[in-house]
Amino acid sequence: MAATPAVAQPVNVRGQILLPGGQPPTESIRFSLYSGDGRVNEIRFTDSNGRFILERLSPNFDYTIEVTGDNTLFSNTTHNFNPG
């Protein structure tokens, strides 16, 4: 009898976006969330300290968070992660 493969459970990710100097922002920051398979392509916002929670992400995909800067004080930042 073959074993039934385990189904990967969705995961929640807590994070924080910091300013270039390492300090938390003093207002909400807009960011884009992308996954490699195209299932998630959303615009999200942090709280006023840069914190966010991403709920029910698949542990089987790589995700990208992209923060678009103003090209004067801050440049664009992209970070890839895998919650699995």
d(C-alpha 74, C-alpha 56), whole Å: 30
pTM of the model: 0.77
27-66 CB burial, b ≥16 within 10 A, e <16: eebebebbbeeeebeeeeebeebbebebeebbeebebebe
Sign of CA dihedral 48, 51, 56, 57: positive
The token duo for 17 is 């976006």
Least confident interval from 7-11, 23-27, 36-40: 36-40
Return the minimum-mean-pLDDT range out of 22-26, 38-42, 53-57, 80-84.
38-42
Confidence of residue 75 (pLDDT cuts 50, 70, 90): confident
The answer, yes or no, to whether residue 84 has pLDDT greater than 90, is no
- What are the tokens at 9? 């459970």
Does the pLDDT value for residue 5 go beyond 90?
no
Residue 74, pLDDT score: 73
Q: How many residues does the chain have?
A: 84
